[in-house]
Structure 1
């Protein structure tokens, strides 16, 4: 974060309680900017000692803000070029329900038309929308093997699985997504254009670090790093995999796919039914064993109490179970990406 070779000297000092603050200037040549970091010194006898780096978080935030500004300047010509060569159509939606897991896979599509006059492929679109007051990002991608000739149209797709039991604001928004309810801000971020055997990869840098790596690679090798042009290396993207069917997952002896996460809502529904029957049986038993009006009141009062306690217990157990499986799935995903 601190370019030691960019140290420019001291920018001044000011007295504070118990010591002084000395400003150190650091020049970030790649960002064409200079930032100041305060060093806190305290008197120790006849000498001064360094006790803290003041406002290091502010320095980091300032550096990040400058990087975002410079990255926008770097990406602007590329976005304008891609927007000129790629026409984006209206949002399309298709949903497939899976009865076993009581989940729904929502497939959103955006038609892309090639206006470049050259064959193209591997088109990726970055789309942002708002869910639960937060800005979310998703990436639409055409199939890597699909070539799009001049004037031709292909579908860039984003898939999302909605699990209602643990539905997030993002799940609820995408579950009912259509052109009227989902306001997308879409920009093209990647495409490969071909001139005969020559491939011209045009991409938007996803971060300042990615841009810096690309610049360094061009300086040393005269070209970008191979990974600099890969769609799946974008941090806001992820490779799409076809979800295995319930039957194939059930007979997966390698246990690489989890069935529990798909059946969790069915199990919870069964648990609620069992809880209702159990509460009803206890309530009837109390009314049968205790004669008179008091027995009837006690039995009727016991039924909802026992049901709620049983349902709460089942919910807690299943949530703990699903959390463990989610951790395992996310760990597996991170391991496969790395």
Structure 2
């Protein structure tokens, strides 16, 4: 928080790679109005959480306006594991969360309307309309809140919800892991025990060979009030989440520099896509991240449009 305060005081734009939505809420409450007055952009969650979700939601909505009632995101991941820093950050979030942070719309502007809450992916869930077997995505608590703030700042309506998709074994495993971790994190002495005895130490993480075998992709589906699909977007990358985080935060910083120079940068506590929009989209596409419209095959799998 002292770094954010210094940036506002010194009229210096700010981006970060945090995934801690309770921290973002505090930044909004303390600095949003002052940052607007000082002409400063404060942009959090500029890494793997939450740029892919924010970017896919932005792209799939382009040009559709108020037609969109819901965007559903389906993630597929191959990753080499969690770093010590990420694991300890998760613990820190649960240590410092207040009751207000349980609100799924905790990052919305105070005067923003609250859209109908989309059904949360709390367990194994078969999406009949998309023919996908899904489970809870461990990054959705942050991603969904960031995307909902983006929607509010850009004047979009509708809801946004994320899930992970895969085989029955994969989604059952994801569900069991989520609820085991939720139970552990809810009990202070268990939380401390896990942090001290089970978590990898800060500064450690997946090996280079593990990272090289990692990738991620996601399908974003925009529907209207009747459930009719308006558009599907495919986002994919061959980088692992940590390498992708370095790319995303770098491109966010460069977008801020470019837009500040052009005089097109907004001010206040923003989200990646509310702040950088098409500039960031073009930059990450130029860096090799695939973001494009898709057509759906008869088996329900996504095929990029050529």
TM-score (norm 2): 0.20
Higher RCO, 1 vs 2 (CA within 8 Å, ≥6 residues apart): 2
| Greater percentage in strand | 1
Which structure: larger Rg? 1
